Amino acid sequence: MKRGVWLVGAVAMAAATVLAQGGGGGGGRFGGFGGGPFGGMNQTISTRDLTRYEDFLQLTPEQRDMVKTLHDGYTEQANAQNDSLREKMDKVRAEFQDTRDPSVWQGLQGTMEEARASRKKMDAAFLDDVKAVLTADQSARFPQLERLIRRDRMLPRGLMSGERVNVVELAEQAELPAEVKAQADPVLEQYQEELDRALVKRTEVTEDTMRQAGVLFRDGDMEKAEALLDKAREAAVAVRDVNTKYARQIEGMLPDDKKAAWQDAVRRASFPQIYRPTQASRALEAAAGFADLDDTQKTGIAALQASYTRDSAGVNLRLGEAQQKAEETMSVMEIMRRGRGQDDGPLGDLRRERRDLDRTTLDNLKKILRPEQVERLPSNEDRGGPGAGNRQGGGPDEGQGGGRRRGGGGQDGGRPGGQGGRRGGGGIG
């Protein structure tokens, strides 16, 4: 029974986070509360986001001053709640590390439900106060703003491949030609409305899952755990499918010379773990920029870069397909086995193939370079640059996480458990 309780408890406390063990670019291990559905529960509206919202509503300087005062009070309350919740979580986490008894998590259920209810009231009160300072024209835009806020908060909690894709944001980054943009704008408006409904439904499922945690802990019922996983997966797939549907619609509007770039952007957003920079890719990029290369070295590095780009693209495509299939079919037992580091099956084979490709590429690069040049290659610990903010579960030879940091908080992302600035919210509406 103890093993069953551990398995079910892991599902219950992680809620939909169980899907992350399939590799979907999501949060941490079981028992963690920093990412996934838990990460947004105690998230505040940061000053950076507030500025975006004020710009959308076209507030006057006087209105901005009033809203800032309101926001200062809201943030102070939110930070106090975050600190209290974090203390309780840390205490339970420490107890679990000492005892390895999963039942210690049970006591957090009521605490988290209370915190979630309190934060909802806090957020609603703040937004009501903001509404009170608006003109009639500004108030008419408020429903669109509320939808944007939900997207800012809910979309980054996705855990399946493709679930965190923001098609509006990708369209903005693609700098669509004027004639394509005119055609795409109404489609993107439909996307935002459909996505909002799917995100609200997914949140309802997550909260319902958390409410069932106590029963699952008590009964150790694997059948209920599987049903819980299926329900969470269904809600996650609905969000993913909305993103996929509209990404393909935008692709169909693009001229042929822009479709490949769009497809690549969608793949990278759908599979951030797979397409993150690796140690091999960073080493090749660094070596190509060395000022003391001779012509033979330049030719050799260029050829190695070309072959690595080609070979890794093929592995990544197959890895993405295998990952998505695993997410759609994985059972609770398989999730737990993967959580224990047992990386078997087609997905594990492809991950090992990619690691072998990286090792071989690094070895070949070092043969091209002189010893003093090899010393200048970035180490596995040198992971600065774009995407360096969020390591998402890769092994030591799998490079740097590609996501944005999801945590921080306070007014500017400095407090535990809150919001670290803009996290994939995308456009307005």
Confidence (pTM): 0.74
| Mean pLDDT over the full length of the chain | 79
List pLDDT tens digits, range 271-282.
Answer: 999 999 999 999
pLDDT at 257: 92
Query: d(Cα 344, Cα 330) in Å, to the nearest integer?
Result: 12
Tokens of 132: 């009170």
Nearest residue to 54 (alpha-carbon basis) of 40, 75, 74, 70: 70
- 3-class secondary structure per residue, 112-126: HHHHHHHHHHHHHHH
Query: d(Cα 63, Cα 61) in Å, to the nearest integer?
Result: 5
Max avg pLDDT among 38-52, 86-100, 232-246, 375-389:
232-246
Q: What is the mean pLDDT of residues 285-291?
A: 97
- Residue, of 253 and 120, whose pLDDT is higher: 253
* Contact partners, residue 319, CB within 8 Å, separation at least 6: 271, 274, 347, 350, 351, 354
Nearest residue to 343 (alpha-carbon basis) of 20, 22, 75: 22
List pLDDT tens digits, range 132-181.
Answer: 999 999 999 999 999 999 998 899 888 889 999 999 999 999 999 999 99
Query: d(Cα 273, Cα 270) in Å, to the nearest integer?
Result: 9
Query: d(Cα 58, Cα 54) in Å, to the nearest integer?
Result: 6
- Dihedral over alpha carbons 300, 302, 304, 307 (to 10 degrees): -140
Q: What is the mean pLDDT of residues 382-395?
A: 40
Angle at 162 between CA 310 and CA 337, to 5 degrees: 90
pLDDT at 213: 59
pLDDT at 234: 93
Nearest residue to 80 (alpha-carbon basis) of 416, 413, 422: 416
List pLDDT tens digits, range 340-368.
Answer: 555 667 888 999 999 999 999 999 999 99
CB atoms within 10 A of CB 70: 19
What is the distance, to the nearest Å, from the Cα of residue 117 to the centroid of all Cα atoms in its chain? 24
Query: d(Cα 198, Cα 297) in Å, to the nearest integer?
Result: 52
Tokens of 245: 């549907």
**Which residue's structure tokens are 């899907």?**
19
Residue 421 Ramachandran class (φ > 0 left, ψ -120 to 50 alpha, else beta): left
The values of phi and psi at residue 26, to 5°, are -105, -145
List pLDDT tens digits, range 68-108.
Answer: 999 999 999 999 998 988 898 888 889 888 888 777 777 77
CB atoms within 10 A of CB 37: 25
Contact of 153 with 43, CB cutoff 8 Å = yes
Share of the chain above pLDDT 70, in %: 74
Query: d(Cα 263, Cα 254) in Å, to the nearest integer?
Result: 11
Query: d(Cα 385, Cα 401) in Å, to the nearest integer?
Result: 11
CB atoms within 10 A of CB 312: 20
Q: Which helix (H) or strand (E) holds 177?
A: none
List pLDDT tens digits, range 24-39.
Answer: 333 332 222 333 334 4
DSSP-derived 3-state class of residue 361: helix
Q: What is the mean pLDDT of residues 180-193?
A: 95
CB atoms within 10 A of CB 90: 12
